[in-house]
């Protein structure tokens, strides 16, 4: 009887690293989803408030994590089309 209990405890101790790694991965995935939901401009929950939320983005502010030599300049024809569409 004592042998089965000690082998069961040994089995549980072997599962601790696996449970820790899986828990860390699950928390990381959930955190990224929450971050994307609140901070990324292309992720929307519903379209009732603003059907095109990407139109309200400041184009002078970089949207990527790392931006190298990016300078935004408006395209006159595109701006004219946007004004006509509104």
Q: What is the tens place of the pLDDT at every residue in 33-52?
A: 998 888 777 677 776 766 67
Enclosing domain of residue 52: 2-85
* Residues 82, 36: Cα–Cα separation, whole Å: 27
CA dist 80 and 73 (Å) reads: 14
Is it the case that residue 57 has pLDDT exceeding 70?
yes
In the predicted model, what is the mean pLDDT of residues 6-30? Answer: 92
Cβ proximity of 41 and 64 under 8 Å: no
- The domain tally of the chain equals 1
Give the percent of the chain with pLDDT over 70: 85
**49, 65 contact by CB (below 8 A):** no
Residue-by-residue DSSP string for 8-29: HHHHHHHHHHHHHHHHHHHHHH
Residue 49 pLDDT: 66
The pTM for the full model equals 0.54
Residue 63 CB neighbours (<10 A): 13
């Amino acid at each position: 009887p004592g042998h089965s209990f000690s082998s069961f405890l040994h089995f549980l101790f072997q599962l601790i690293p696996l449970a820790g790694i899986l828990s860390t991965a699950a928390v990381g995935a959930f955190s990224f989803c929450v971050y994307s939901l609140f901070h990324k401009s292309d992720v929307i929950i519903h379209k009732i408030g603003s059907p095109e939320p990407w139109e309200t983005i400041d184009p002078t502010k970089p949207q990527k994590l790392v931006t190298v030599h990016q300078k935004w300049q408006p395209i006159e024809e595109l701006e004219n089309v946007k004004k006509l569409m509104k």
